[in-house]
Amino acid sequence: MRDLPLCLPGEPQECGQSAQQHVLLWAADLKAAAHHLIEESAPSHDDAVYHAGPLYKEKLSALRDSSSSRQSA
């Protein structure tokens, strides 16, 4: 598995990318690594589809709800 990119002190300025670009790249790599891990670890194709699809969407929705409730508090 590929190592996730690290944002070292001063790196966004030194490489010309913003911190936001680094976060987006890191998050995309993390999501791809997680999806690949699901595919590799699931005992069947149907299990992989469930965990990468409906369960993922459920977990994402819960994170969004939690985030929005903290922002409105």
pLDDT at 17: 75
pLDDT tens by residue, 2-46 = 565 555 666 666 677 777 887 888 888 899 999 999 999 999 999
pLDDT score of 69: 84
Rounded Cα distance, 62 and 56, in Å: 10
What whole-number distance in Å separates Cα of residue 42 and Cα of residue 70? 34
Single pTM value for the model: 0.70
Q: Is the pLDDT of residue 57 over 60?
A: yes
Q: Of 68 and 41, which is predicted with more confidence?
A: 41
